[in-house]
Each structure stands twice: as C-alpha cells, then as structure tokens.
Chains A and B, each alone.
Chain A
C-alpha cells in the first residue's frame, strides 16, 4: 500500500528566508504523481506544485520548487523568499493510476515577521 510521511509537524521561518519541508513516500507503482497542497486558515486546499514521477527535472512554480529524489522516494518542497501569506498547513500527497490520493499528516508552516 502507498504511504506518505511528513516528519515535521511544524516548521518556522523568518520572513524572506528559505525553508524546506520534507516528505517521503512509498509506492510499488512505476507511474505516479506527487503533489504539495497548501491549506491556509480559510481551509481551502490549494495545489502548490506537482511532479510526474517519470520526469527527472524538478518542478518549479515561482518561489516554490521541489527536490525529487526518486530512488530515495523523497519529495521535499523548498519555499524561497518566504512571505507572510505562505503561512499554512502543507500537505504532501501521492497518486497512482486510480482515484486515490494518499496524503501525509501535514506540516504547519509559521512565518515570523
């Protein structure tokens, strides 16, 4: 069965600095997708970034980038130039060919002004 593990329940970073959130996963599939979602206090889950497992190049979306290490089954999220609006719960998730997204327990990110 697929599992997703986020080992950091909470992280804090100074505004304008860089922070990395960790995620490891386990799957027996060869074709799968990985995601980072953000859930601010407004509660709406928002897609931050996604990575197709067959692509070796790390995905990037503006200040958000991932470090995808397929052999190590690691998928960390790097947030550069942290902003107050980045404060939220961040969830890592994996998906194979069916409808099931497997979610981590989340990391609470605190931004210090």
Chain B
C-alpha cells in the first residue's frame, strides 16, 4: 500500500454536480498539499495544510474547497466546476518542519473529467 492514497482514481462529473476527492497518508506527516496537473503545464500548487491549518491558498477559485479534518486526511470538495478544471489532481504530504519538509511524497492522483 502506497504511503499516500487518493480516491477515486477517476472521476467524471457534470458542471452542476458536487463531488469530493479524498487523500489519506500513512507516513506520520503533518503537512498535506493539493496540486493540479494539466497537460503541458507545470504543476500548480492549490492548497497547503500544516498541522491541520491552511497555510497556502494560491488564488484558487471558490468552486474548489479543501478540508483537512486531521493530519492524515485531506479532502477537495468540488462544485459547479468548469470543463477547464479537467486535470489530474495530486495529493502530497511531508513533514512540516526540518529537512523532511523539503521532501514530498505523492499519491497516484485523481483524474477528473468535467463534462
């Protein structure tokens, strides 16, 4: 079992649907991240949580809503998305301090298609 698990692996949704992406880490890390990966573009950092508090929010539209109920779980709630939101959404975790803060462990991603 990978250290960072993302579900679902694939998601197809209409623009009026509400869905959620889930991420769980089993590494004892206390920082978690959401990234968006679109074709032929660099990874875009969306949100960062450290010790369950949001510390980074890179001007992400409000139709994306993160939730971090504890240091092991991270959600990305999706509602009224647009077709251009179709992408691979990657979750990652790390230590929040020290040299371990520089090494991210990633999940396998959730491939989202918005129709």
- Residues on A lying within 8 angstroms of B by beta carbon are 4, 33, 35, 37, 42-47, 50, 91, 95, 98-106
Contacts and interface: CB of A to CB of B under 8 A. Distances in A.
Contacts of B105: 47
A98 B58 CA distance: 13
Nearest to B45: A100
Contact of A91 (B2, B43, B45): B43
Interface in B35-61: 40-43, 45, 48, 50, 55-56
Interface in B1-41: 2, 31, 33, 40-41
B43 A99 contact: no
- A-B residue pairs, 10 tightest by C-beta: A45-B106, A103-B42, A44-B108, A103-B43, A99-B48, A43-B109, A33-B102, A43-B108, A99-B56, A105-B42
Question: Chain B interface residue count: which class?
Answer: 20 to 34
Contacts of A44: 2, 106-109
A75 to B, nearest CB: 15
Given A99-B55, A100-B45, A47 B104 contact: yes
B88 interface: yes
